[in-house]
Structure 1
Amino acid sequence: MTKEQNFKKWFTYVILVLGAGSIYKLPFLKSVFYGQMQEFMGLSHTEIGTLMSINGLITTFGFGAAVYFTDKVSKKKSLPLSLILTGVLGLYMAFFFPGYKQLMVIWVLFGFTCDMMYWPVLLKSIKSLGDDSEQGRLFGFLETGRGLVDTIVVSIGLFIFTYFGSTINSFKSSIIYFSVVVIAIGIISYFCLEDDKISTSSSKKNGEKLDYRAALKMPELWMIAFNAFSVYSIYCGLTYFMPFLKDIYKMPLTLVSVYGIINAYGLKMLGGPIGGIMADKKFKSPTKYLKYSFLAIGISLLGFMFLPHESINIYVGIILTLLIGTMIFSQRAIFFAPVGEINLPEEISGSAMAMAMASFVGYAPGMFLYSIYGGILDNFPGMTGYKLIFLSMVIFAGIGFTLSSILMKKIQKKKAEDTVIA
């Protein structure tokens, strides 16, 4: 690779990271402003969870629909447009501060702009920047870069909120700020990203249909998809560490928001490279790393459930939850990387189809788990509700460990067969 090609590769990577680190600030407003959404928007745990689940429903089916257009629309058009439309929705929310029913419509539209139009194209673009030996690092450092951008953007948003008095108007100002940032990055992306070479030939279209059928028949791809499902199910529970510390440890609302920045965004900078480096360098396999990290997360959460939280120092609770969160983010960074281990035919792995299919299943928990978790907390107040959420996360860790173990055996068997043939 020449110096010019290398520069172009990493320049594109930086632009993609900027977009990935800014677009989800609005649909995931609860990651930092969970308490503010309850106080100023009048939303319950169940209603916040329902907003996220509605968004997740559109997201899940959006990934399926994305199979048909992701390879046919250039990232130069799709990525900037989705960023700008997301920002426009945020401005509407800030200026009109709509009620719960209108918020549901906005979160539905976030599902289209962020996940159907943006995310599958981003995954395809990141994957295309390196060969199979680089996938763990490319996806791992994507999470690191997103974490850095996230932390900067959200920290300024929280500063705006506190500087202007922590009122409903300062909350609106923070939303406006997030909206302007994502629109600005959308405009920058349009002028900086290059056009993809899009094939519109009939043979290509026929090939896509055959690729889709072939992908559906691959058990390894389904295992990767449901492995991602397990990771994302655990990740959904990570949100509830915030109200857990507020309700059980009596953490002040502003400190909860600061914790939310670290928990949701800062940990990406730590967990991302841990996942990428451990998968590529230590375990020599993303699947193998996922297997043992599922085991570590399950054991950690199981022990965490039975600690005497009411009598534990608040900083101990913060440290323990952040350690668990780091492990979860290390998984999220590489949960699609095993696609590079299963020797997909080039016509499948070279398109966005494998990623869209894995994303369709992998992000499915978002369409129901937030609503379920929120309902648990509203119906089982206090420590009982949180223990039920933690237990659910343990169960998903067990499922992920089992799937990773089976997939690991299939990969090893395939490698042994290839060695014999060679």
Structure 2
Amino acid sequence: MQQHSYRRWITLAIISFSGGVSFDLAYLRYIYQIPMAKFMGFSNTEIGLIMSTFGITAIILYAPSGVIADKFSHRKMITSAMIITGILGLLMMTYPPLWAMLLIQVAFAITTILMLWSVSIKAASMLGDHSEQGKIMGWMEGLRGVGVMSLAVFTMWAFSRFASDDPNSLKTVILIYSVVYIALGILCWFFVSDGVSHEVKTTDRQKKTFQLSDILSVLRISTTWYCSMIILGVYTIYAILSYSTNYLTEMYGMSLVAASYMGIVINKIFRAMCGPLGGLITTYSRVKSPTRVIQILSVIGALALIALLATNHHPQSVAVGIGLILLLGFTCYASRGLYFACPGEAKTPTFIMGTTVGICSVIGFLPDVFVYPIVGYWQDTLPAAEAYRNMWMMGLGAMCMVMVFTFLLYKKIRATEVPLSQTGSPSQASGA
């Protein structure tokens, strides 16, 4: 491994870039909702339906993606996933009707979730031994953010080269993403290994993870539900932040290009920067508990949402609006960097950790299903001020939920610390 150190870091970069940018066409609305409505002819409600179609399919596919990672060649799966995603992008570039876009979104979920999600994480983890997992996963998250941010800035620059009413502007953005996906797929074929060399050693242990009895035991643990609801609340804010471009355009009168650049800052750059910051806070501050840090961040996020509600009907200073959204973004993305640390802090036994994370993902990522059609409906049927007031109220409810369940989880963790120190049994610490 050491003599090929340079190659494994190149491989890690390729896997990270692929895993990060592969979602960008499925989530094109995050930056380009207004151009999608203008050039593709979809209403905001229909765009919300397009997004929820991907979300519903993704929720179904998160769990079996782990089986795919264990059973099939990593090189073949990642390569085919990226190339097929690129080809789907070329179909999307033709501005298809709604029914075809819904089918494309289902296909995007198959390639990015079923074929790529768990495979990319496992392929990256196999680039080092147990002692290097923290370093590799940290770099993976950072490189994902860099890839997403760089491609978003480049496509936004390309988009801005066209006249505001030129439909080729959005087609060019989709084309760039498609070409990059196919190129990354080709690179994956030459750099990613099959990933089957260690399967014999782990087969028995992995089989236990997929037993129905283990899934039921995870569902009986109260901390599983606490962690799931924390993720659900944070991820609701993450989905709401994707409307930042629309909010700044409709409420503050920012130009589409300027608001889109702010969307990149909020949804891409902050994502790359703030995730690692959450880990730094738990490492170097007096608050060592990830659960407590998320709780503190949720209080700050709730205050930012209250301020957004207070300024919603009479927006005056765009700087204040941007500042509040950036503050909310910081609390969201820092929490996203920590919420999968909560099951470990709750002393979840190692042999059911994978199952726990899978169940938390299914429940926690449900906002992909309901947020977009609801907010899209509000945008289409209500005045802008009322639509965004409802959106911020939804976010405030989500933050309150995070505060409640971080309190319950931290209370559970503290209550089990004494029994754990006396008995040394992790199962007692994570029981219902």
TM-score (norm 1): 0.90
1:342 aligns with 2:346: yes
Q: Which residue of 1 aligns with 2:373?
A: 371
Q: How many aligned residue pairs are there?
A: 417
Aligned 8 A contact 2:31 2:242 in 1:
no
Alignment map for 1:272-421 (pairs within 5 Å): 272-282=275-285, 283-307=287-311, 310-349=314-353, 352-421=354-423
Q: 1:87 offset after TM fit, Å?
A: 1.1
Aligned 8 A contact 2:21 2:148 in 1:
yes
- For 1:186 and 1:358, the matched residues in 2 are separated by 29
Q: Which residue of 2 aligns with 1:108?
A: 106
1:192-216 deviation per Cα after TM superposition (whole angstroms, max 9, x unaligned) = 2233333496785366314434333
- For 1:182 and 1:334, the matched residues in 2 are separated by 29
CA separation of 1:201 and 1:301: change in aligned 2, threshold 3 A: closer
Identity of aligned residues (%): 27
Q: Which residue of 2 aligns with 1:178?
A: 177
CA separation of 1:250 and 1:130: change in aligned 2, threshold 3 A: farther
CA separation of 1:375 and 1:155: change in aligned 2, threshold 3 A: same
Q: 1:395 offset after TM fit, Å?
A: 0.5
Return 397-406 or 118-127, whichever deviates more. 118-127
Q: 1:118 is paired with a residue of what secondary structure?
A: helix
CA separation of 1:408 and 1:157: change in aligned 2, threshold 3 A: same
CA separation of 1:40 and 1:308: change in aligned 2, threshold 3 A: closer
Q: 1:16 offset after TM fit, Å?
A: 2.9
CA separation of 1:126 and 1:45: change in aligned 2, threshold 3 A: same
Aligned 8 A contact 2:305 2:392 in 1:
yes
1:212-240 deviation per Cα after TM superposition (whole angstroms, max 9, x unaligned) = 34333332223212211111111111112
Aligned 8 A contact 1:140 1:334 in 2:
no
Q: 1:19 offset after TM fit, Å?
A: 1.4
- For 1:360 and 1:104, the matched residues in 2 are separated by 21
Q: 2:239 is paired with a residue of what secondary structure?
A: helix
2:88 partner letter:
L
Aligned 8 A contact 1:141 1:273 in 2:
no
Aligned 8 A contact 1:141 1:276 in 2:
no
Q: 1:279 offset after TM fit, Å?
A: 2.9
Return 67-76 or 38-47, whichever deviates more. 67-76
Q: Which residue of 2 aligns with 1:237?
A: 240
Q: Which residue of 2 aligns with 1:41?
A: 40
Q: Which has the higher contact order (CA 8 A, sep 6+)?
A: 1
Aligned 8 A contact 1:348 1:354 in 2:
yes
Q: 1:307 is paired with a residue of what secondary structure?
A: helix
Q: 1:7 offset after TM fit, Å?
A: 6.1
1:154 aligns with 2:152: yes
CA separation of 1:207 and 1:365: change in aligned 2, threshold 3 A: closer
1:264 aligns with 2:267: yes
List runs of 5+ in structure 2 lacking aligned partners.
425-432
1:215 aligns with 2:218: yes
Q: Which residue of 2 aligns with 1:198?
A: 199
List runs of 5+ in structure 1 lacking aligned partners.
none
Aligned 8 A contact 1:230 1:396 in 2:
yes
Q: 1:63 offset after TM fit, Å?
A: 1.3
1:258 partner letter:
Y
2:373 partner letter:
S
1:248-267 deviation per Cα after TM superposition (whole angstroms, max 9, x unaligned) = 10111111221121111011
Q: 1:399 offset after TM fit, Å?
A: 0.6
Aligned 8 A contact 2:65 2:113 in 1:
no
Aligned 8 A contact 2:304 2:324 in 1:
no
Aligned 8 A contact 1:295 1:397 in 2:
yes
Aligned 8 A contact 1:59 1:112 in 2:
yes
1:381 partner letter:
P
CA separation of 1:19 and 1:207: change in aligned 2, threshold 3 A: closer
- For 2:53 and 2:129, the matched residues in 1 are separated by 34
- For 1:98 and 1:211, the matched residues in 2 are separated by 44
1:295-322 deviation per Cα after TM superposition (whole angstroms, max 9, x unaligned) = 1111210122112664522233222212
TM-score (norm 2): 0.88
Q: 2:258 is paired with a residue of what secondary structure?
A: helix
Return 216-225 or 247-256, whichever deviates more. 216-225
Return 286-295 or 8-17, whichever deviates more. 8-17
Aligned 8 A contact 2:251 2:315 in 1:
no
1:110-154 deviation per Cα after TM superposition (whole angstroms, max 9, x unaligned) = 12111222223344556676869975x766654433222112111
Return 378-387 or 69-78, whichever deviates more. 69-78
